[in-house]
Homo-oligomer: A and B are copies of this chain.
């Protein structure tokens, strides 16, 4: 998906919600567990229910890998089911030496047709460039994450600069804002204004709203640009709104609530017409 297509989708629908399919088999509604592929059936109903209120889906690969081959099948069925109107992210946090990263890129961009993948920066340029080599695909580099452990290394200071700032600076030289995004956690909204000033054009994928405690209002005020520039992900707060038989309609309600708030923030903070 091109940047133009993504921004037009946000503009038209007035939402920048990404629904995270962290579809933990142990948290699925019990009545689904009878089915042959409960994980896919759950995702299918969640996608049908939330499609109108989001612009993308983020699939967290860990929750499928933990189920082995069966989980990988559910993953492939899920990515095939999502309509091409919606931006799809493999939240896989891959990264390895060049020839290995090229295999991961093939896995998520060719074998499965994801629009984007999250990648870990630790191993440097040759671990990231094989993803950036794909036209029409997006590489989403971990910058400042939303978890407590982000303080351990991402916040190490040298030459008055945090490590995550060095990551943003260096990786932004490897790909342009039409194919490179950054993960910027919602729990760090006080730092987001500075990051936005330094990187006015990049999209930020923002996890951590909802279950992890980040505020949609604050991140939107600090992080938006004139193209919106944010994809805010909510996973558990949407998909596990209810674990009863009404799970899909409850997820729809939760996604709609985000959508309503996002309409307000888009009018307030972005020049999105």
Question: Which of B96, B148, B153, B212 lies in contact with A166, CB distance below 8 A?
Answer: B153
Q: Quick check: is A6 within 8 A (CB to CB) of the other chain?
A: no
User: A149, B124: Cβ atoms under 8 Å?
Assistant: yes
- Complex: A152 Cα to B173 Cα, angstroms: 12
Q: Quick check: is A178 within 8 A (CB to CB) of the other chain?
A: no
Residues of B within 8 A of A67 (CB): 107, 111
Interface size class of A (residues with CB under 8 A): 35 or more
Q: Which of A81-112 contact B (CB under 8 A)?
A: 91, 93-98, 100-101, 103-104, 106-108, 110-112
User: B163, A149: Cβ atoms under 8 Å?
Assistant: no
Q: Quick check: is A72 within 8 A (CB to CB) of the other chain?
A: yes
**Residue from A63, A93, A157 with most neighbouring chain B CB atoms (10 Å):** A93
Residues of B within 8 A of A107 (CB): 62, 65-68
A151 → chain B closest CB, angstroms: 7
Q: List 20 A-B contacts (CB under 8 A).
A: A62-B101, A63-B100, A66-B106, A66-B107, A66-B110, A69-B73, A72-B72, A95-B120, A120-B120, A120-B122, A120-B123, A121-B122, A121-B152, A121-B153, A124-B152, A124-B153, A125-B148, A152-B170, A156-B158, A156-B166
Residues of A within 8 A of B (CB): 22, 24, 60, 62-63, 65-69, 72-73, 76, 91, 93-98, 100-101, 103-104, 106-108, 110-112, 120-128, 142, 145-154, 156-159, 163, 166-167, 170, 207, 212
